[in-house]
A and B are shown apart, each in its own frame.
Chain A
Amino acid sequence: MSRKLIRGGRVIDPANGIDAIADVWIQDGRIDAITSVREESDADIDWRDTEIINASGKIVCPGFIDTHVSLREPGYEEDESTATGTAAALAGGFTTIAAQSDTCPVVDNRSAAEFIRLQAERARNCRVYPLGAVTKESKGEELAEIGQLVQGGAIGFSDAKSPVANSEVMRRALEYTRMFNRPILHFAMVPELSEGGVIHEGFQATRLGLRGIPAAAQDIMTGRDIALAELTGGRVHLMCVTTADSVERIRRAQAAGIAVTADVTPHHLLLTDEVMDSFDTMYKCNPPLRSAEHVQALIAGLKDGTLSAITADHQPLAFEKKQVELDIAPFGICGIETLLAVCVKALIEPGHLTWSELISRLTVGPAAVLGLKHGTLSTGQPADVTIIDPDEQWTVKASEFRSRSRNTPFDGKVFTGRVIMTLVDGEIRYQKGV
């Protein structure tokens, strides 16, 4: 029988409407109770065998959930492995992640999904649910063995950064996945419009002579996906929304009762395409960093819940892959360990979101997308808990990442707010500095 007490923190549990200084009691790996702060002089409590974690001045909240994380194993172990990626997730405060299907080979069959789960069990870090590919080899042509992937543990379906460009294939996929009540996580992008692009199409692209990816490339596909979700009754989740018009389309679709959800990354909330005049490949991501008016619309969408989840869109890439010219460098930011800090800078410090709203987009929001019960501190739930020091000023040191990769544009930058402890099943799996 093990008992833990996380004592005296500011407990924020958006699912239960809690935001108060309180004690969180954990019994045998599950949340036992949230009570007012108790003193050791309180005689009605049996203090023996109670491990006390002092959380005074800290935020105590449900462990974060990421809807799509690229773990790169098997096939790209030079970038990341399940063990390093999940360790990085814990350091970022994540206790549950959905593993993206873009491994080599692609997770388009049952055994591939089971391998992901096996490696996650071996790593024993955070919870990992595989995403299965929508189409075989993510080529967008034929449906993957979706039913068997479900049997192998697939929690949803995604072809990662390869859009399912063929509308007929996407239509069948949405109809077919409906049988299993699993979402399709789609990267909405019209390939003909984005091909060869490296930066948002706009003044910066013109100025720098870089090929642009127009906002319309995302808007058009977002509109198509919404129409197909309406047609089929399937559930579509749009990954990495970056444009004002896409936000507005999703908002209207949700109001009309269509089953569409969406997420956004912290870097698209903090940065604009103006940073690209450094020609620094660390800023190269897909979709590209947009201009300020899009950022404003994303923040508004996050505030009103149109965008219900924040994802790191974790894309670890080995050092040498980014040490090349901008047009041949791969897209992606290794972001799961800096997600909270970047969100604080982009959302909390300017006063756009409250802590409770931010945590909701990192817990109940993504949990609903994936159909999970995690993301709350409700009694009886597994004790997946993240403890944050909201006041800690710290400098990002990519060299200290738990991720195998270092491709971050935030190296050396100073942030406020840091995850200091992460518990899974009531067990401390990450502790800052340990």
Chain B
Amino acid sequence: MVLNNLPVSGPWGERHLLGLERLSAEQLTTVLDLAEHYDRATLGGTQRLDVLKGVVVANLFFENSTRTRTSFSLAARRLGADTVDFTASSSSLSKGETFIDTALTIEAMGVDMVVCRHRTPGAPHLLARHLKASVLNAGDGTHEHPTQGLLDIYTIRKARGRISGLTVALVGDIRHSRVARSNIHGLVKLGARVIVCGPATLIPSDITQMGVEIAYSLDDILPEVDCVNLLRVQFERQRGAFFPSIPEYANLFGMNGDRIRRGKSDLLVLAPGPINRGVELTPDVADGPHSLILNQVTNGLLVRMACLTLLTQERRRLQGGEA
């Protein structure tokens, strides 16, 4: 299979993937369709293709993440790309070298694509302004995490065949969640009804301007919901106490067997992970029949393969159409 002759070709035209906010419904669908193609073509991500042969992908992680980095590395290698991992301390101040200098150094080694995770919102945007390589945002602070949003949406679409008309609840720490923001942008554009639910301290009230509804009671909305996405409580991003105690949080917003029984019979349970068992959800829910948590991990690989492919395709197009 050659890159400029993919079986799926919807609109794309993006050199970088910095967030889902700037993507249209059509562009989102292009990614999801290509991920679906890869699902079949690689037997669920287990077979290798050589679509990205010769492409060098650098994982530039300024914040700890084992699962996202591993997923990106695997996705790149499944498509035949070479990967280099660069893990740095989170603050450029502590390193004595600026973030941009670090990235330029990596790029000078002949890198085509930079997958960047950073604790500062906008850090990948800064890279995109300075690098010739394509930049893929793998999570920028509390801003966006586009591939996580895409894999969540892909998981829902695969389970239900559609996004439009579904009601999705994002539950938990909305304020500090990049996953929430990417999910919101993607789901709203694809026609879902999105409810954000959590403690009032963790839901900025102006988030309604992003086209979502706010609910403070999980029990109230549960009967209407097709999918709950249980966001991890971001203990590390919170300054001060946003809720009185973990038992109180679990009591009000935790997903347990009791709540599963009160929800729709085909309720989907997603959690971006790593999950705090006993906080966002109880073990019986995590391991139960409604849970798609492990499917999300597999789908993450497919969605990332799709993103890497589309970015490389665009990059080659801009460079003047290399076969």
**Residues in A lying within 8 Å of B, measured CB to CB:** 195-196, 202-203, 205-211, 278-279, 320, 323-328
- B74-104 vs A: 1/0 string, CB under 8 Å? 0000000000000000011100001110000
Q: Is the CB of B204 within 8 A of A206?
A: yes
Among the listed A208, A320, A323, A328, which residue makes an inter-chain contact with B121, where contact means beta carbons less than 8 Å apart?
A208
Shortest beta-carbon distance from A318 to chain B in Å? 12
Q: Is the CB of B207 within 8 A of A328?
A: no
Q: Does B15 contact A (CB under 8 A)?
A: no
Shortest beta-carbon distance from A203 to chain B in Å? 4
* Chain A residue, CB-CB nearest to B209: A203
Q: Is the CB of A203 within 8 A of B121?
A: no
CA distance A326 to B239 in the complex (A): 18
Q: Is the CB of B206 within 8 A of A202?
A: yes
* Chain A residue, CB-CB nearest to B204: A206
The stretch among B53-61, B139-147, B315-323 that forms the contact with chain A is: B139-147
Which residues of B1-25 are within 8 A (CB) of A?
21
CA distance A324 to B178 in the complex (A): 21
Q: Is the CB of A208 within 8 A of B143?
A: yes
**Chain A residues in 8 Å Cβ range of B140:** 209
Central interface residue in B92, B143, B144, B206, by most chain A CB within 10 Å? B206
A-B CB proximity, top 10 nearest: A279-B122, A209-B143, A209-B142, A325-B120, A206-B204, A203-B206, A209-B121, A279-B125, A327-B120, A203-B209
Which residues of B125-172 are within 8 A (CB) of A?
125-126, 140-144
* Chain A residue, CB-CB nearest to B100: A323
Q: Is the CB of A325 within 8 A of B206?
A: no
Q: Does B118 contact A (CB under 8 A)?
A: yes
CA distance A211 to B237 in the complex (A): 11
Q: Is the CB of A326 within 8 A of B207?
A: no
* Chain A residue, CB-CB nearest to B174: A206
Central interface residue in A196, A209, A210, A324, by most chain B CB within 10 Å? A209
* Chain A residue, CB-CB nearest to B118: A325
Q: Is the CB of B92 within 8 A of A326?
A: no
**Chain A residues in 8 Å Cβ range of B119:** 327
Q: Is the CB of A326 within 8 A of B93?
A: no
Q: List 17 A-B contacts (CB under 8 A).
A: A206-B175, A206-B204, A207-B209, A208-B143, A209-B140, A209-B144, A209-B178, A210-B121, A211-B142, A279-B123, A324-B93, A324-B98, A324-B99, A325-B99, A325-B120, A325-B122, A326-B121
**Chain A residues in 8 Å Cβ range of B118:** 325
**Residues in B lying within 8 Å of A, measured CB to CB:** 21, 91-93, 98-100, 118-123, 125-126, 140-144, 175, 178, 181, 204, 206-207, 209-210, 239
Shortest beta-carbon distance from A288 to chain B in Å? 14
CA distance A206 to B184 in the complex (A): 12
CA distance A202 to B142 in the complex (A): 15
Q: Is the CB of A209 within 8 A of B181?
A: yes
CA distance A208 to B18 in the complex (A): 12
**Chain A residues in 8 Å Cβ range of B210:** 206-207
Q: Is the CB of B123 within 8 A of A325?
A: yes
Q: Is the CB of B207 within 8 A of A206?
A: yes
Q: Is the CB of A279 within 8 A of B121?
A: yes
Shortest beta-carbon distance from A81 to chain B in Å? 24
* Chain B residue, CB-CB nearest to A206: B204
**Chain B residues in 8 Å Cβ range of A320:** 98
* Chain A residue, CB-CB nearest to B140: A209
Shortest beta-carbon distance from B89 to chain A in Å? 13
* Chain B residue, CB-CB nearest to A203: B206
* Chain B residue, CB-CB nearest to A199: B121
* Chain A residue, CB-CB nearest to B184: A207
**Chain A residues in 8 Å Cβ range of B209:** 203, 206-207
Among the listed B126, B142, B181, which residue makes an inter-chain contact with A325, where contact means beta carbons less than 8 Å apart?
B126
Shortest beta-carbon distance from A186 to chain B in Å? 25
CA distance A203 to B142 in the complex (A): 14
**Chain B residues in 8 Å Cβ range of A325:** 92, 99, 118, 120, 122-123, 126
Central interface residue in A195, A320, A325, by most chain B CB within 10 Å? A325
Q: Is the CB of B206 within 8 A of A328?
A: no
Indicate whether A328 sits within 8 Å of B91 (C-beta atoms), given known contacts A202-B206, A209-B143, A323-B100: yes
**Chain A residues in 8 Å Cβ range of B207:** 206
Q: Is the CB of B204 within 8 A of A326?
A: no
* Chain A residue, CB-CB nearest to B203: A206
Indicate whether A328 sits within 8 Å of B204 (C-beta atoms), given known contacts A209-B121, A209-B141, A320-B98: no
Q: Is the CB of A279 within 8 A of B126?
A: yes
Shortest beta-carbon distance from A272 to chain B in Å? 15
* Chain B residue, CB-CB nearest to A329: B120
